[in-house]
Amino acid sequence: MTTVLLRQVRPYGEGEPVDVLVSGGVISRIGEIEPPSGAEVIEGAGQVLLPGFVDLHTHLREPGREDTETIETGSAAAALGGYTAVFAMANTDPVADNAVVTDHVWRRGREVGLVDVHPVGAVTVGLAGERLAEMGTMANSVAGVRMFSDDGHCVADPLLMRRALEYSTALGVVVAQHAEEPRLTVGAQAHEGERAARLGYAGWPASAEESIVARDCVLARHARARLHVCHVSAAGTVDVLRWAKDQGTEVSAEVTPHHLLLTDERLATFDPVNKVNPPLRAEADVLRMRQALADGVIDCVATDHAPHAPQEKDTEWAAARPGMLGLQTALSVVAETMVRPGLLDWRGVARVMSERPAEIVGLPDQGRPLAVGEPANLVLIDADAEWTVRGAGLASRAANTPYEGLRLPAVVTATLLRGRVTSREGKIV
Ligand code: DOR
């Protein structure tokens, strides 16, 4: 087991710098510490130390679309982005709707060893929305699947969703819904509003999201289930979530970095790198996302990291696939949209990027306090540094970042997984 001394770091970005010694996979001492012989020393110079990030929503594309991302390249992007655990969505080919696929994803993640890769199991067979997948078998398999989602598709049938929630209660797992009433989004290409109308794009109405979230909150309350809402994008959804939480419904929600920063103003570029599902929305929605994340109605940030091949993006808008990269830029977008304007401090960033996501899925060793004896899943951040995003320089196999050329604050300088350095100074270790 390696020993690492993080010198002069500021846990949660608070107080005077301290030394943090990591050995045996845990934080073994905090204080003023002489480097033990053989220890790897990382000079923190006052940088911010947080628990490693947990992403509840990642598309790693393996199996099936290894031309766009693999568990190896996606894990590298995650480690470079400060993540120590990611949840790999089920819309692979074959679909992760059975324990053979989910166990493969889990094992491959362990082999790569850069980040804990937790497979998400599909709710329905083939994501077809017709028959429930074998949730119990997946939950009880080697991978111990904790989250189920048809993400990319909504579980639209209310009876199926009700059954899935009932099973999830019995199994102690979470159902994560891609909230999109498909009857309201037929042909939709962009946020329903003036900009889409001017360009002649069919609109994706906010009500398509709000109505499914409202329905599912009711179903979850009756099933005593834990519902998680993927990628909230519409301001009205925040009102629904607040109402459901006030009633005691066990619902949690995530927002993506892109829905915290970008608006449908990007439609004017005609560049499908900006096409995503749910779509980039209006300024008022973006401001509401930020506020809801700050006050906890939205629990956490999740990337919806969605790599796509050039031919799927460099095409006309209507034909392009929705989705954008997110793992290596998430922290910086959160720093830009939440920390810079004073909506979150670094302790707040730990809450929305580490602690809450780990709690939602019940990971015992992630999102833990920075204290002696706790697992050393850590990220070190130079909060004062800035960098310029270049898609070609990201670790992902794909390059579809909407932030190309953008200058953003906060740089991950090191990530540790169970005490082992996985990334340092922008390089995989
Ligand atoms: O934009 C998206 N892309 N949204 C989704 O829900 C799925 C994802 C993908 O798999 O590409």
**Cβ 150 under 6 angstroms from ligand 1:** no
Q: What is the pLDDT of residues 212-248, one digit of tens each?
A: 999 999 999 999 999 999 999 999 999 999 999 999 9
> pLDDT confidence of 1, banded at 50, 70, 90?
low
34 exposed, middle or buried (CB, 10 Å; 0-12, 13-18, 19+)? exposed
Rg value, the chain, Cα: 21
**Ligand 1 mutation pick, 60, 69, 91, 401, max ligand atoms within 8 A of CB:** 91
Ligand 1: nearest atom to the Cα of 275: 1
For residue 89, the CA-to-ligand 1 centroid distance in Å is: 10
Could you tell me the two tokens for 195? Answer: 């900009």
Q: Which atom of ligand 1 is nearest to the CA of 276?
A: 1
Q: Does 322 sit in the ligand 1 pocket, CB within 6 Å? A: yes
Is 91 annotated to bind a ligand? Reply is: yes
Mean pLDDT of the 294-311 span: 98
Choose which residue among 276, 303, 313, 327 to substitute to test ligand 1 binding: the one with the highest number of ligand atoms within 8 A of its C-beta.
276
| Residues 6+ positions from 130 with CB-CB distance below 8 Å | 124, 157, 160
Compute φ and ψ for 187, nearest 5 degrees: 75, 0
What per-residue confidence (pLDDT) applies to 313?
Answer: 98
- Strands 226-229 and 174-177, by their bridges, are parallel
CB 51 within 8 Å of CB 20: no
- Residue carrying structure tokens 């012989």: 37
Measured in degrees and rounded to the nearest 5, phi and psi for residue 184 equal -95, -5
pLDDT at 223 (0 to 100): 98
Identify which of 277, 280, 325, 401 to mutate to test ligand 1's pocket (most ligand atoms within 8 A of the CB): 277
The predicted structure's pLDDT at residue 130: 98
The CA-atom distances, in angstroms, between 147 and each of 122, 357, 358 are 9, 12, 12
Q: With a 6 A CB cut-off, is 68 part of the ligand 1 pocket?
A: no
Distance of alpha carbon 2 from alpha carbon 91, whole angstroms? 37
| Residue of 120, 183, 189 lying closest to 149 (CA atoms) | 120
Q: What per-residue confidence (pLDDT) applies to 413?
A: 98
pLDDT (tens digit, 9 = 90+) per residue, 141-165? 999 999 999 999 999 999 999 999 9
- The response to whether 118 counts as a known ligand-binding position is no
59 annotated binding-site participant = yes
pLDDT digits 0-9 by tens, 61-83: 999 999 999 999 999 999 999 99
CB of 357 shorter than 6 A to ligand 1: no
Average pLDDT of the residues of the chain? 98
What does the CA dihedral 328, 333, 339, 341 come to, rounded to 10 degrees? Answer: 170
Residues 357-411 have pLDDT tens digits of: 999 999 999 999 999 999 999 999 999 999 999 999 999 999 999 999 999 999 9
pLDDT mean over 126-137? 98
Residues marked as catalytic: 304
- Residues with Cβ within 8 Å of residue 307, at least 6 apart in sequence: 59, 61, 68, 69, 74, 323, 325, 396, 397, 398, 400
Atom number in ligand 1 closest to CA 322: 1
pTM: 0.98
User: Does position 39 have pLDDT exceeding 90, yes or no?
Assistant: yes
Residues 115-135: what's their mean pLDDT? 98
90 lines ligand 1 (CB under 6 A): no
Q: Which of 426, 429, 415 is nearest to 393 (CA)?
A: 426
- pLDDT on residue 175: 99
- Residue 49 is labelled as binding a ligand: no
Instruction: Please tell me the residue having the least CA distance from ligand 1 atom 3.
Output: 323
Q: Is 153 annotated as contributing to ligand binding?
A: no
61 is in an annotated binding site: yes
Question: Contact, 124 vs 159, CB < 8 A?
Answer: no
Output the CA 307–ligand 1 centroid distance in Å: 9
Pairing of strands 420-424, 407-417: antiparallel
Tokens of 175: 């159902």
Amino acid letter, 204: W
Task: Classify residue 221 by burial, with Cβ atoms within 10 Å: 0-12, 13-18, 19+.
Answer: middle
For the chain, which domains are there?
4-48+374-428 (2.30.40.10), 52-361 (3.20.20.140)
- Quote the percentage of the chain above a pLDDT of 70: 100
Q: Is the CB of 276 under 6 A from ligand 1?
A: yes
Residue closest via CA to ligand 1's atom 5 equals 152
Q: Which atom of ligand 1 lies at the shortest distance from residue 323's CA?
A: 1
